[in-house]
Structure 1
């Protein structure tokens, strides 16, 4: 670090040397960090050993044994050495960080100074006089190198012609193949492709369109090198510069043609009319050509050591040409076919996009004419690269949004898996789609932002350092936060929850199924597995993210204070839910009565219980009410239950005949238990009526309403066959439970009749 600090004061005006010095200091930081991390466990071991020896005896205490004293002294020396080494490394690390901050500041100043340096304005004659003065020197350098290279070409005339023919032939052949492959062939009566389908096709069409140009460029470069035409001092770097410019132009042009699809509106990713798409794509290709030409000329000027005035003139011409073409692009109406039919779109729309670009185009021209040509050229180049990166980023985002939002409503493979295999409903699938969209969008942003920062002059080392701090840890006070560990903790949580859902799904399909297991027990086991898996996932995620689990005691203490002030009911319902799942006074599938409402238990959660009434309404009952209140459960121990039917007849009817008919009809019904046998009784008489009761036991009390209806029909028909006039025998509606399996409501639309008191089977 001493040498680095001395070098820093000597090379403060050279950006390249500052970059190299930054790399060497980065190595120092890496080595000091690794060494300190390796020594800290050793220091912890020494502290543990000293702690095992206990505190040193005081003045009046008995002296410790010589062996213990010697061991304490040895450990103290090691502690001082290791602790001193760690502190020295920490000081070195801090000096390196300060040096890097200084280098970053110096490079930023150099960058700003290079952009804001003013040269001769092209509006003044001095600029053109200097350029004319150096014109002959520039022409001589170009002619000298071109003459030597052309002489070599004439000596390799046959090979050069063969190479030229091969390049043209390969380009035309690949162009024909690509056009045939990428030709749009819509199926008959096919619907227009969705945006995601168009984006998916663009992902392979863009590289395919670039293949002919890339292949021709590489073949030409390889052929020239094979013929020995690139071994001249200036030929090789010129060939590389020309190849790089060609690659940039071909790649960007293929992307533009793919995105705007001027001839195939069905594949167009931008909502533009055919006329607007053709004009925009044509102007963007011209901008790409200007940018590539500027890259080549800049490198060519460095190779031939052109004077500064020539580089300034070249930057001036390309920058103003770029600004003029950009203005032509901004004058193009960005309108779609539908918009053009409804209303004409102004040339300034959309203002949020064209407004800043108009300012940039005018600024480029003003800066170049004012003598700030470097700043104008820099702005023009960054507009091109920022536009390309922004266009790709926007398309990726739109494709991600189309994929995630489309997948949540479609019946694709992923939706079927989430819904049927894992039990995810529509809401869960939408939540998963939103989470996937957020993760993928963040991934795209994490790639696009560093690329944009690089284009706008930030050093790669600085960006790498920022990302390292962001992902692998930065300190806030005494707490070290690592986004990577947090993301991995979240991923671990998702994985464990996913495994838990898979286990629950397998249990529900293969183990927790009727009649192998009672539905209530199956629900309790399913809930317990879900809660245990979620709790385990939370603990593992928190621990892996770097948070101390023991500190949760503080959170528990704060929670207890909150419970004392306002969370009693929530905790009460939570504890009551656990009691319901463990003690199981009610279970999923039970027929219960809570107050004036009754229905079937559908779900028991930790806070509340869902009861589906016979009108198919959901009744949400807090768990504490089910524990502390009175609940009538018809199917708590079993589904066995008794049904009581009361009848009245005229005073002249023989009671024995009525009882015989009642018992006969009850014994014939298939849903009535034979043991204990049905019981018909003669309850009493009045001057106008005689009263009877029929008691039967059902194996499934939920079918009581259907059994009552069957019995009444059978008894009515039996009375008619026995000569008992129907007007003399009638059965008023009994206060019995409705059938849980019946349709909600009745013909009159009334609610189910009140329940009788349950009777145990004898």
Structure 2
């Protein structure tokens, strides 16, 4: 593995420069290959757009076509802005090489002035195409903005248009006429097609294919959904709950694919009959879209509101599924209704449109209202202990409230006459609910896969990866939400164009391309740094004579230098010019220096520790009352593990400027002092000899210098001795001390040497005051209490004897 890392590092270090050198000619060639725009054609299109905007008579479709051409011109101008970039940089470097710009005090020499003028003229010529492209791009961008403003104004006006109220019975005949005329049109188109001999012949020739399409479509549409549902139910009742959920989720897509595929085959069969006309063709062409809306919404509802798992969203999953199915049916009918009236010539009257649209809005609003009530948790259900569950409950409450409000407001607008506004509210709300349900299902599916891969329990659903997946899915769905709520594809492409151009901050333009380039180069540099550190740590430094502290210092230094170089190369490679931020950075550095002076001091102290190495990993130190073993030294702090297995983080400044006791620096030897006391009357020389034998018998006590026993004091309660020994490994100091005390206790017991404890004599002047005058009569004689050591108690315990009358302790004595 070590040699593999070294080989991989060598390949990366060797291939990276080669790849860069290979890409440079390609980039230069691509830059030279920028096509110069045809400004004559551009002028024609620009004047046409300006005339259409001035008249405002063009339709929205015509404006969209014109806008698409302007977007193409803008892209060409954006590419042309970088024309002659390499030559411009070269000429600028040549001008800079001539020295600073001349002034009245310091004019250029004649030769240099001539050369400077020639280079400036050349620079102006090279910059002219880019400046012209920039001016044309600004003009195209302004025209695009004007077209977007006109289209948005028209959309807003359409939404606020007041139609005749559908509640008025006088408007009903117009809607009924649309239905009857539409049916007549369908019949007439079918009759005309049947009377056409060519179409009848084509029908006869395609009859086998039509029958095959109809048979397959009938099986897929009539039997397919039930078969897929039974299959999914069978898989969902398997042994492994997680794997069966994943398999059932994948297989359940057949509940959408199979019937929609059958509908597509049915449409193909109808189209092969050659019996469709303009209106019937539009209606038939809308069938796949209607089927997709119906079966997709139905599938989302069946998975969101399952009986075994639907309680997460509502307490009544079966009722919620019913309302979702009804909403799916209304979405399909709305798609067919829209297709049915699209091809009407002339367009429907406002009264007919209101009569046709209002019933659909009111019906779907009823189901949405009840669904919003079902998914909206009650107020008492929100206060839960789990933060994630509480957040989801609040989101559900917000969504449910919004659905209820829309389901009340939309029918009211439709009945008043604002049919366009009602449609713009009710149908996007239903589709948005479906999209949110789809996001939730995808997030749940990814969570199931994550649990299977990691082998974690249900608590893994609250891990970081599933949460980030849901957040990413929500971000990806934002454009779809925008399209659902009426945004144009052109609006999204324009927003992406603005986003791609980036933002300007302090003279620096930050765009997604620049940021991605910066991140990629920095990640490559970071990986090379880490691989270099791993190779040095595993294969190179262990074979040197450097101690562990120097090795760690070298590896840490290479890491910081590598990260700094990676950031520098990434900034340069991404084309980020930080010169405009130099003054701001200089001003901020003063304030940052004051605010981070402790961090800087710790950083410098860490470097000193890594270089001078007064302490190393594994040393036993005492600093600021913290006694333990050094487990790690970083640039900012040092990690100490105490004997009670707690971690203490000590700033490096304290280790450099404070007093540090290092018990194991250089070697592991250390002195051990064990105090021992014996009773008065003991043979002191015998005691000294016994203690010396015990010390010399310890395996960790060094022979040179030899241990010693000192008679140090005549104490108040004992004769005091000290065992002094040098240990070969001070880490076992407490173990050696424990063994010595065990040996001392056993030898003293065998030799009859007493280990004393404290004794005290207590005299009481007035014992009668302690027991009261009634229980202790006044008598003459000495009042003395004698305290003697207790045979059962510890060394400091004693017994109090009171015999004031001298009778040997009768009943009135204390």
TM-score > 0.5, shorter chain as reference: yes
The answer as to 2:130 corresponding to 1:83 is no
State which drifts further: 391-400 or 281-290. Answer: 391-400
Contact 1:666 1:678 survives alignment (8 Å): no
Contact 2:301 2:321 survives alignment (8 Å): yes
* CA displacement at 1:640 relative to structure 2: 1.7
* CA displacement at 1:509 relative to structure 2: 8.3
* CA displacement at 1:70 relative to structure 2: 7.0
Counterpart position of 2:77:
32
* CA displacement at 1:522 relative to structure 2: 6.5
Q: Hey, what's the Cα distance between the residues in 1 that align with 2:106 and 2:543?
A: 78
Q: Hey, what's the Cα distance between the residues in 1 that align with 2:400 and 2:684?
A: 101
Contact 1:563 1:571 survives alignment (8 Å): no
Among residues 426, 432, 441, which one is paired with 1:386 in the alignment?
432
Corresponding residue pairs, total:
691
The answer as to 2:214 corresponding to 1:164 is yes
| 1:337-356 paired onto structure 2 within 5 Å | 352-356=398-402
Residue by residue over 1:82-123, the C-alpha shift from the partner in whole angstroms, topping out at 9 and shown as x without a partner, is 222222111111111110111011111222233334444434
State which drifts further: 291-300 or 612-621. Answer: 612-621
Counterpart position of 2:361:
322
Q: Hey, what's the Cα distance between the residues in 2 that align with 1:93 and 1:336?
A: 50
Q: Hey, what's the Cα distance between the residues in 2 that align with 1:128 and 1:411?
A: 61
* CA displacement at 1:230 relative to structure 2: 6.6
Give the 3 Å change call, closer, same or farther, for CA 53–206 of structure 1 in structure 2.
Answer: same
Give the 3 Å change call, closer, same or farther, for CA 2–713 of structure 1 in structure 2.
Answer: same
The answer as to 2:616 corresponding to 1:571 is no
SS of residue in 2 equivalent to 1:254: helix
Give the 3 Å change call, closer, same or farther, for CA 229–503 of structure 1 in structure 2.
Answer: farther
The answer as to 2:159 corresponding to 1:115 is yes
Counterpart position of 2:421:
375
Q: Hey, what's the Cα distance between the residues in 2 that align with 1:613 and 1:60?
A: 71
Among residues 259, 263, 268, which one is paired with 1:213 in the alignment?
259
Q: Hey, what's the Cα distance between the residues in 2 that align with 1:626 and 1:340?
A: 57
* CA displacement at 1:18 relative to structure 2: 0.8
Residue by residue over 1:356-397, the C-alpha shift from the partner in whole angstroms, topping out at 9 and shown as x without a partner, is 434433443343334433333333332232222233345556
Contact 1:213 1:250 survives alignment (8 Å): yes
The answer as to 2:473 corresponding to 1:444 is yes
Residue by residue over 1:610-653, the C-alpha shift from the partner in whole angstroms, topping out at 9 and shown as x without a partner, is 43433445444432222122221101111122324455667774
Contact 1:678 1:694 survives alignment (8 Å): no
Residue by residue over 1:533-565, the C-alpha shift from the partner in whole angstroms, topping out at 9 and shown as x without a partner, is 655565566666765456776566446533775
Counterpart position of 1:680:
708
Counterpart position of 2:313:
271
SS of residue in 1 equivalent to 2:701: coil
Q: Hey, what's the Cα distance between the residues in 1 that align with 2:102 and 2:755?
A: 108
| 1:227-626 paired onto structure 2 within 5 Å | 227-229=272-274, 237-261=282-306, 265-268=307-310, 270-273=312-315, 276-303=316-343, 305-309=344-348, 313=352, 316-331=355-370, 334=373, 352-395=398-441, 412=454, 434=464, 440=469, 443-476=472-505, 478-483=507-512, 485-486=514-515, 489=518, 524=553, 528=557, 531-532=560-561, 535=564, 547-548=576-577, 554=583, 557-558=586-587, 561-562=590-591, 565=594, 567-626=596-655
Q: Hey, what's the Cα distance between the residues in 1 that align with 2:376 and 2:408?
A: 30
Contact 2:236 2:244 survives alignment (8 Å): no
Q: Hey, what's the Cα distance between the residues in 2 that align with 1:214 and 1:602?
A: 65
Q: Hey, what's the Cα distance between the residues in 2 that align with 1:567 and 1:154?
A: 85
* CA displacement at 1:277 relative to structure 2: 2.3
Q: Hey, what's the Cα distance between the residues in 2 that align with 1:479 and 1:302?
A: 51
Residue by residue over 1:221-256, the C-alpha shift from the partner in whole angstroms, topping out at 9 and shown as x without a partner, is 34445x454786666554322222222222222222
Give the 3 Å change call, closer, same or farther, for CA 383–563 of structure 1 in structure 2.
Answer: closer
Give the 3 Å change call, closer, same or farther, for CA 150–310 of structure 1 in structure 2.
Answer: farther
Give the 3 Å change call, closer, same or farther, for CA 611–445 of structure 1 in structure 2.
Answer: same
TM-score, normalised by the number of residues in structure 1 = 0.75
Q: Hey, what's the Cα distance between the residues in 2 that align with 1:230 and 1:670?
A: 108
Give the 3 Å change call, closer, same or farther, for CA 680–510 of structure 1 in structure 2.
Answer: same
Contact 1:454 1:460 survives alignment (8 Å): yes
Give the 3 Å change call, closer, same or farther, for CA 61–245 of structure 1 in structure 2.
Answer: closer
* CA displacement at 1:50 relative to structure 2: 2.8
Q: Hey, what's the Cα distance between the residues in 2 that align with 1:116 and 1:691?
A: 104
State which drifts further: 491-500 or 201-210. Answer: 491-500
Counterpart position of 1:100:
144
Contact 1:163 1:223 survives alignment (8 Å): yes
Q: Hey, what's the Cα distance between the residues in 2 that align with 1:609 and 1:298?
A: 72
Q: CA RMSD in A?
A: 4.8
* CA displacement at 1:475 relative to structure 2: 2.6
Give the 3 Å change call, closer, same or farther, for CA 580–133 of structure 1 in structure 2.
Answer: closer
State which drifts further: 504-513 or 46-55. Answer: 504-513
SS of residue in 2 equivalent to 1:593: strand
TM-score, normalised by the number of residues in structure 2 = 0.71
* CA displacement at 1:503 relative to structure 2: 7.7
The answer as to 2:228 corresponding to 1:178 is yes
